[in-house]
Amino acid sequence: MNKSEFDVLTYITNHQEKVVKMTVSQLAKETFVSTATVIRLCKKLGFTGFNELKYNLKKQKKALNLELVEESYSQIIKKKIFDIQKTCELINEEVIEKVLNIFRTKKIHFFGKGLSEITCEYLTNQLLQINILAINHTNTHIAYLYGEKMDENDAIFILSLSGETSQPLKMAQIAKTRGATVISVTTIGMNSLAKLADINLFVYAEDDDEVEFDNKSRAPVLVLFQIIFDMYINKYIKSLP
């Protein structure tokens, strides 16, 4: 391979996306060589001509894109599995036992905002299936009014992954003042909500710093809620004669 051919090859390597859109004449002009030099290089590389070389470049790019997509899928799946595994490791059986007892002895309330509100609805509906009266407060103003009427016979699960969202914090303060039992559901760490609560349930869910909206996964919370529900079923329903 002479210097002219090497220069063309270097250009092709560094400008693949541009080269696939060029004609042989355009590439020759861009690299200051003759079209014959470009064709000769293509044949030395094992192609019948410039068009076959371009086809091969496109094929390689498509394969690379597919590989990157597959890698992205794999990374996302691994991350979600990791979050759930870490959440399961955080489960404290003594704390869960306290929660199960609360289901049997107190009026149950749930409160969360945004995606957390939807997540609260899941366990609310699960409890209703087994005749445990539970209310998911979706209207913030009415929730505060409910909180003012709570007493020691009430328990409220307040979900805020950051533990710093203003409405859940206010709800916890109101319920706490009235003597209700406050159960926080947050990511691991002593955040403001966890400090206010009587019982702490922790999950593991990392922030996605590449987006500006709330993309923190609630999947670990759903798994935690399902485990709590299943443990209640095993202890108090399946054990019935």
Q: Is 39 exposed, middle or buried (0-12, 13-18, 19+ CB in 10 A)?
A: middle
* Model pLDDT, residue 64: 54
Q: Is the pLDDT of residue 241 over 60?
A: no
pLDDT digits (tens, 9 = 90+) for 146-169: 999 999 999 999 999 999 999 999
Amino acid at 91: I
Q: Is the pLDDT of residue 239 over 80?
A: no
- Mean pLDDT, rounded, of the chain: 87
120 vs 40 pLDDT, higher one: 120
181 vs 13 pLDDT, higher one: 181
* Model pLDDT, residue 211: 46
For 160-228, give the DSSP string. -SSS--HHHHHHHHHHHHTT-EEEEEEESS--HHHHH-SEEEEE-----TT-SS-----HHHHHHHHHH
* Model pLDDT, residue 12: 80
pLDDT above 70 coverage of the chain, percent: 90
Q: At what angle are helices 35-44 and 3-14 packed, to 10 degrees? A: 80
Q: Which CATH superfamily is domain 92-237 in?
A: Glucose-6-phosphate isomerase like protein; domain 1 (3.40.50.10490)
Q: Residue length, the chain? A: 241
The whole-model pTM stands at 0.68
How far is Cα of residue 81 from the mean position of the Cα atoms in its chain?
10
CA distances for 169 relative to 157, 159, 184, 197, angstroms: 12, 10, 10, 10
Q: Is the pLDDT of residue 1 over 90?
A: no
* Model pLDDT, residue 70: 59
Mean pLDDT over 172-179 rounds to: 97
Confidence of residue 22 (pLDDT cuts 50, 70, 90): confident
* Model pLDDT, residue 212: 55
Q: Is beta strand 181-187 parallel, antiparallel or unpaired with respect to 199-203?
A: parallel
pLDDT digits (tens, 9 = 90+) for 188-216: 887 999 999 999 999 998 765 554 555 67
Whether the CB-CB separation of 163 and 136 falls below 8 Å is answered with no
User: What ranges do the domains of the chain cover?
Assistant: 1-90, 92-237
List the one residue out of 190, 208, 210, 209 whose CA is nearest residue 200.
Answer: 190
Amino acid at 182: V
Give the CATH number of domain 1-90; options: 1.10.10.10, 1.10.1040.10, 3.20.20.70, 1.20.1250.20: 1.10.10.10
The Cα angle at residue 215 between residues 211 and 218, in degrees rounded to 5: 165
Mean pLDDT over 110-138 rounds to: 94
Same fold, 1-90 and 92-237: no
pLDDT digits (tens, 9 = 90+) for 24-82: 888 888 889 898 888 887 788 788 888 888 887 777 776 655 555 555 777 778 888 89
Q: Residue 158: CB partners within 8 Å, gap ≥ 6?
A: 110, 111, 112, 168, 171, 172, 175, 182, 183, 184, 185, 193, 197
3 state SS of 90: helix
